[in-house]
Structure 1
Amino acid sequence: MRMGETDLLAIRFLLKREQEGRSVSPKDLATHLGISSASTTVLIDRLVRSGHVERRPHPTDRRALVIAPTIASDDEVRATLGDMHRRMIQVAEGLEPDEAVTVLDFLEDMRTAVDSVRDGEGEQAPTAPVTSIDEARSASGS
């Protein structure tokens, strides 16, 4: 979609809230993204210009606005993610069983590491630091 991460997170949030039947104010969006109101205004302006979101009058408060994704935004997200998911599935299906086990073990270890930091358990240093994928491959003989 040729967007930055914050733009994609904003659209995803807006699409989810719309699906739930909930409106989103600029303040709601700022809180969700953890950005300032000034940054939120710039973000919304950019997404309005690109045709991904629109400002609408608040249904009950004439002074307020809500931010809503456009139909084009929903279609583009579905098309982009659908294509990306198909490619990801092809890669995953191409793994040999032992490779899949290695990947799953790695992802589980990464989840545990992230959760332990998030849960305040402190940082766990890796046993053998790897500086690049190429270094890891040469160390494993691949």
Structure 2
Amino acid sequence: MNPHGASEGYRYRAGAEAAPAPVDVLNALREFRTSESAMRRRTRSSVAMGETDLLALRYLLDAEATGAQIRPTGLAARLGITSASMTSLADRLVAAGHVTRHPHPTDRRAVILRPAPGADEEVHHNLNQMHKRMLEAAESLSPEELKAVVRFLDRMREAVDAIDATPSVAAR
């Protein structure tokens, strides 16, 4: 177990180089993701919400901050869930007092989902310390390091996103 309560898993094998190797970066990324997953489990437990519930609420809070209006269909697409799952999710968040439904201003058949008053404080209370420490870590980087990290993470996202786009060997 690491200090964050996550179990140690497979480690990529690095060579005998003194300087960090690419596999060391992958190990660090994997260890970060393991720690982040453990932190998310702890956060979900503390607010009694599931991962999708927290993501939905975060998207709604971000939309509210920018003045965007989110329909259930848009939120479902963002979360990658079906309309039936979105209905259950919205019902659950409304019943828990985290989200409110409002009539759409121009489409009388549609509704807009908004975070309920106080939802922001509840989520931020649980995540503020973690976000503060993560921001401090990012602020400790030089401008060149920031560019390198962003470039690397963008490339990693592209690599992961491309996995579904590549036909499998079995399908050929």
**What TM-score bracket applies, with the shorter chain setting the length?**
0.5 to 0.7
Q: Which runs of 5+ in 2 are unaligned?
A: 1-46, 138-151, 167-172
Rounded to whole Å, the distance in 1 between the matches of 2:90 and 2:133 is: 30
2:161 is matched with which residue? Answer: 118
The counterpart of 1:49, out of the listed 69, 72, 95, is 95
Question: What amino acid maps onto 2:160 in structure 1?
Answer: V
Matched, 1:81 2:127: yes
Deviation of residue 85 (structure 1)?
A: 3.6
| Alpha-carbon distance change, 13 to 89 in structure 1, aligned in 2, over 3 angstroms | closer
Residue 4 of structure 1: aligned partner: 50
Secondary structure of the residue aligned to 1:68 is: strand
Q: For residues 85-137 of structure 1, give each alpha carbon's deviation from its aligned partner in whole angstroms, at most 9, with x where no partner exists.
A: 457789x7xxxxxxxxxxxxxxxx998666533345x8xxxxxxxxxxxxxxx
- State the partner residue of 2:43: none
Over the residues paired in the alignment, what is the CA RMSD in angstroms?
3.0
Aligned length in residues: 110
SS at match of 2:100: strand
Q: Give per-residue Cα distances to partners, 1:60-94, cap 9 Å, x unaligned.
A: 1122111000121111111111133457789x7xx
Q: Give the 3-state SS of the residue equivalent to 2:109 in structure 1.
A: coil
> So what's the TM-score if we normalise by structure 2?
0.53
Determine the structure 2 residue equivalent to 1:133. Answer: none
TM-score, normalised to structure 1, is 0.63
Helix, strand or coil at the partner of 1:55: strand
Structure 1: runs of 5 or more not aligned: 93-108, 123-142
C-alpha distance in 1 between matches for 2:106 and 2:96: 27
2:75 pairs with 1:29: yes
Per the TM alignment, residue 59 of structure 1 is displaced from its structure 2 partner at its CA by 1.1
Which position in structure 1 is the counterpart of 2:42?
none
Separation of aligned partners in 1, 2:118 and 2:67:
18
Amino acid at match of 2:161: R
* Correspondence 1:18 to 2:64: yes
Cα distance in structure 1, aligned partners of 2:51 and 2:63: 18
Residue correspondence of structure 1 range 67-78 to structure 2 within 5 A: 67-78=113-124
Deviation readout 1:40-60 (Å, 9 max, x if unpaired): 000000000110001001111
